[in-house]
Structure 1
Amino acid sequence: MNNGFWTVVGFTAKNKLRGKAFLVTTIIIAVIMSIGINLPYIISQFSGEGKPTAVGYLDSAADKAQSQLFTSTRIVSLLDAYYEAQEKPELKFVPIADAGSADANEQALKQAVSDDLVDGYIGFAPDPESGFPAVTYKSESLMETKVSQSLSTALQAVKMEAVIDSGGISDELKAVLTKPIKLDTVQISTGEGAGSIGNGKSSEQQGMDMATVYVIIFMLFMAIMISGQMIASEITAEKSSRVMEILITSVAPLKAMFGKILGMFLVVLAQLAAYIVVIVVNMTLPQNADTLSGYGISLDLIDPALLVYAILFFLTGFFLFATLFAAVGSIVSRTEDLGQAVLPITMLSLAGFYICIFSGLNSPGSMLIKVSSFIPFFSPYAMVVRLGLSDPPLWQVWLSIAILLASILACGWLSAKIYRAGVLMYGKKPSMKELFKAMRAYR
């Protein structure tokens, strides 16, 4: 490649990186990403999350005098002990004095909610069939799923504890019964002889692989959408302003096309690198780092082989779509017609993205994902999912790469002919017959 090619690469990259629209858009997206990552923490600071929810209950003297196994007083006492044992108690129970009658008690409980003494209150009703009182939680909120789910788990635990205590079981047996069962999930590799990728992974490694797959898929999708539109619009804008006529007198059409593709690739890499830095910085903040460590997510657990293959599929997928966007941009003379022209390519990328998000991440071994991993427009997404969440044979991975590389060469050759013929065709979008005739003239 002579200096003309690198001149186009440098001009394209510098022109975009220095553009105010590009810088403003990058900053706005970075700010939105920062807010999105920290949104749960921001909401918790303003909504009071992190503090236990105050739940009222009727403090009845008559109930305390009863000798039944499951009185409301005893249940609340067990619930208090259950939540106090938590590092960060989810609920706390506030007694409301008995007003003397059912109606008066209900009014007193509602008044406690109105006065912000409690967020809601629980009531108990006899249930002879289950042997445990029916519990009702009442609050002003329409959907209190967080409190109701927490109460349901706690009530099940205290019910079992009360039954165990009443049976006179020893502390040793009680510890055995109440101790949670440990269940680990480990990915195994059954295809070592056939050239398998994975060697078996723990649940923490699997979780990290899934996070890596998510990031790579989203980054590839963003790179294709951002760079594809920029490449096509750049070529169309130069063509509509007649700059293309001056450009091709200095640089051959093919060098101009591939120079623009490489230049835009560098721009997208810079933009994605900025987003990755924003994500990493926000994730290392104390409030987010603690949450990630609680889920066992650590950068040390990233599989190097998965990362290498993911980068390889990222690069090949990018250049496959970039050549197609460049070809389409070269045959469009007006920027207002560009959206409709690039729609089929955009839909191809969207199809691959949605197949993996809605099917691949839940069923990485499904026939749809296996077939998609050999279709060049889908394989950059699908094979990354298979590599991260299952254990495909090595020959399938390299067959997918070979098909993808062959497709890049074929699409690059076709796009080069379309670009060379289309950059100087003005007016309405040329028909297929006119385009083929112009392509033959450049043989």
Structure 2
Amino acid sequence: MNKFWIIFFHTFLTKLKTKSFIVTTVITLLIIVLLANITNIIDFFNKGEEGEKIAVIDETGVLFDPFQNQLKAIDKDIQLKKFTGDKTKADKQVQNGDFDGVLVLSNNQENLPAAVYRSLTISNTSLLSSLENGLQQMKTQMAATQMNLSQEQLTKLYEPVSLKKVALEKDAKTEEELSQARGLVYVLLFVIYFAVIMYANMIAMEVATEKSSRVMEILISSVPPIKQMFAKILGVGLLGLLQLALMLGVAYFSLKQNMDSMEGGFFDVYGFGDVPVATLVYAFVFFLLGYFLYATLAAFLGSLVSRIEDVNQLITPMTYLLIIGFMIAMFGLVKPDATFITVTSYIPFFTPMLMFMRVGMLNLPFWEPILGIVILLVTIILFAIFGAKVYKGGVLLYGKSSSFKDIKKAMQLTKNE
């Protein structure tokens, strides 16, 4: 067992000290801090800047004032100036930078407001949306006046319809619980996806690197292959958990400092304060099992290559499986009770994402997530047994390896020993 821990800590500390890991972690943490402070950064650069200046040509002579009043309620930073010249003169002032655009107000055949906006570009969608909303509200008011509608009638006309949602199933999740569960599932899906992509690839690269240096031939003769394989998986896994904890911790403190309205503890800040404890436990369990499933697969695939350049080519099918599972889970967030989702949630490669998504979104019988966990455990054990045999023979394979036919060669080498 001492040899297992030697390999475990060696893998962990070696990867921890690498420049690539340190640089990647630091850059990621800086990005998180920047995103958490993005509002303050935008305000800093916008300090002292005036809002967009729009020249308004009112062809009707009566629309400017009501439109200005409507727009102030939508975006007070937009500055409107009544322009008395013609369109050609206004266009020249836009080209000279005196105005950001020209808005020409007129009436259509029904004597309701219409407008044309002219500027150098129409890429500022925020400005265009504000102008459009202001015009729409003004048009609504004028149309109501033409139809002799009172303000009460107009309010009632645009009042949102009342739709109460009643779930007949016993202990069914409320709309708020579903919203929180959907958020947690969404976050975990991305965590599983990126964790497997990053750390499974790291495991395969670690095995291939040691094999290329012939260190593996020494290790394989002194440490059982299954111990060696899982020592590397756990070493990289601990490294991944450390990196993930740093990211969540930095994000937590950054959000707490920059959002005064946020109160409560760690889960409250991330919006998961009312999520049932069982759901959080399932999240952790399926995350770990998903990691071990793909990490075991990556370890013995990495043992088949003798050149680091061949790693990505051999683990590409594994990456495709992960992408397919992720895409199915995204569909499942909209319709988690679909038969297709239920069936595919029992396929081991998709279970970590799909079964947890179903647990979070639906009230499943206790046996369903337990069955998913059992399927994952059995698959991991089978992969471990089969992977150890492939691993033991695969590390003795040298030369160009880019085919799954090398698995058969690795098994034969294992039998011959």
Q: Does 1:147 pair with 2:131?
A: no
Matched, 1:181 2:160: yes
Task: Read off the aligned partner of 1:422 and give its amino acid letter.
Answer: G
What is residue 80 of structure 1 aligned with on the other side?
A: 68
Q: 1:124 to 1:281 in 2, by over 3 A?
A: same
Paired letter, 1:371: V
Deviation at 1:173, TM superposition (A): 4.3
Paired amino acid for 1:237: T
Q: Residues of 2 paired with 1:234 and 1:388: CA distance?
A: 35
After alignment, is 7-16 or 378-387 more displaced?
378-387
Q: Quick one: which amino acid aligns to residue 285 of structure 2?
A: L
Aligned partners of 1:108 and 1:169: how far apart in 2? 40
User: Superposition pairs for residues 266-277 of structure 1, below 5 Å?
Assistant: 266-277=238-249
RMSD over equivalenced CA pairs, Å: 3.2
Is 1:431 matched with 2:406?
yes
Matches within 5 A, 1:19-38: 19-36=18-35, 38=37
Q: Secondary structure at the match of 1:331?
A: coil
Deviation of 1:320 (Å) = 0.5
Task: After TM superposition, give the deviation of residue 110 of structure 1 in Å.
Answer: 2.0
Deviations 1:200-251 (A, max 9, x none): 2235x44433332222111111211222122112122222222223324443
Identical amino acids, percent of aligned pairs: 32
1:262 aligns with 2:250: no
Structure 2, unmatched stretches of 5+, are 263-268
Structure 2 counterpart of 1:413, from 385, 395, 398: 385
What is the match of residue 217 of structure 1? Answer: 189
CA drift at 1:432: 4.2
In structure 2, what is the Cα distance between the partners aligned to 1:167 and 1:49? 45
> What are the superposed Cα offsets for residues 336-370 of structure 1, whole Å, 9 maximum, x if unpaired?
2222222222222222223334x334443444433
Answering whether residue 142 of structure 2 is matched by residue 156 of structure 1, we say no
Normalised by the size of structure 1, how large is the TM-score? Answer: 0.80
Whole-angstrom CA distance in 2 between matches of 1:297 and 1:246: 47
Residue of structure 2 equivalent to 1:68: none
Residue number among 316, 325, 340 corresponding to 2:298 in the alignment? 325
Q: Which residue of 2 aligns with 1:93?
A: 80
Describe how 1:26-425 pairs up with structure 2 within 5 A: 26-36=25-35, 38=37, 42=41, 46=45, 52-58=51-57, 63-64=60-61, 73=62, 75-86=63-74, 88-89=75-76, 91-96=78-83, 98-99=84-85, 105-128=86-109, 130-165=110-145, 172-173=152-153, 175-177=155-157, 180-181=159-160, 189-192=167-170, 199-203=172-176, 205-286=177-258, 298-357=271-330, 359-425=331-397
Deviations 1:239-290, CA, capped at 9 Å, x for gaps: 2222223324443222111111111110111111122223334434537978
Partner Cα separation in structure 2 for residue 271 and residue 278 of structure 1: 11
CA deviations on 1:153-206 (whole Å, 9 max, x unpaired) are: 22222222234345665555455446x4265775x65544xxxxx732235x44
Q: State the 1:47 CA deviation.
A: 6.4
| Secondary structure of the corresponding residue to residue 214 of structure 1 | helix
- Tell me how far 1:415 sits from its aligned partner: 0.8
Structure 1: state its 5+ residue gaps. 65-72, 100-104, 193-197, 291-295
Letter of the 1:181 counterpart: P
**Distance in structure 2 (CA, Å) of the matches to 1:43 and 1:390:** 40
Q: Secondary structure at the match of 1:85?
A: helix
Deviation at 1:14, TM superposition (A): 1.4
Q: Which residue of 2 aligns with 1:10?
A: 9
Aligned length: 408
| Conserved 8 A contact 2:226-2:384 | no
- Quick one: distance in 2 between partners of 1:14 and 1:184? 57
Q: State the Cα distance separating 1:315 from its structure 2 match.
A: 0.7
Amino acid at match of 1:77: D
Distance between the aligned counterparts of 1:311 and 1:256, measured in 2? 25
The question of whether the paired residues in 1 share the 8 Å contact of 2:58 and 2:64 is answered with no
- The answer (yes or no) to whether the contact 1:331–1:423 under 8 Å persists in 2 is yes
| CA–CA distance in structure 1, aligned partners of residues 380 and 414 of structure 2 | 19
Cα separation, partners in 2 of 1:287 and 1:21, compared to 1, 3 Å: same
Q: Output the CA distance in 1 between the equivalents of 2:254 and 2:206.
A: 33
SS of the aligned residue for 2:273 comes to helix
Task: Confirm or deny: 8 A CA contact 1:94 1:118 kept in the other structure.
Answer: no
- State the shift of 1:319 in Å: 0.3
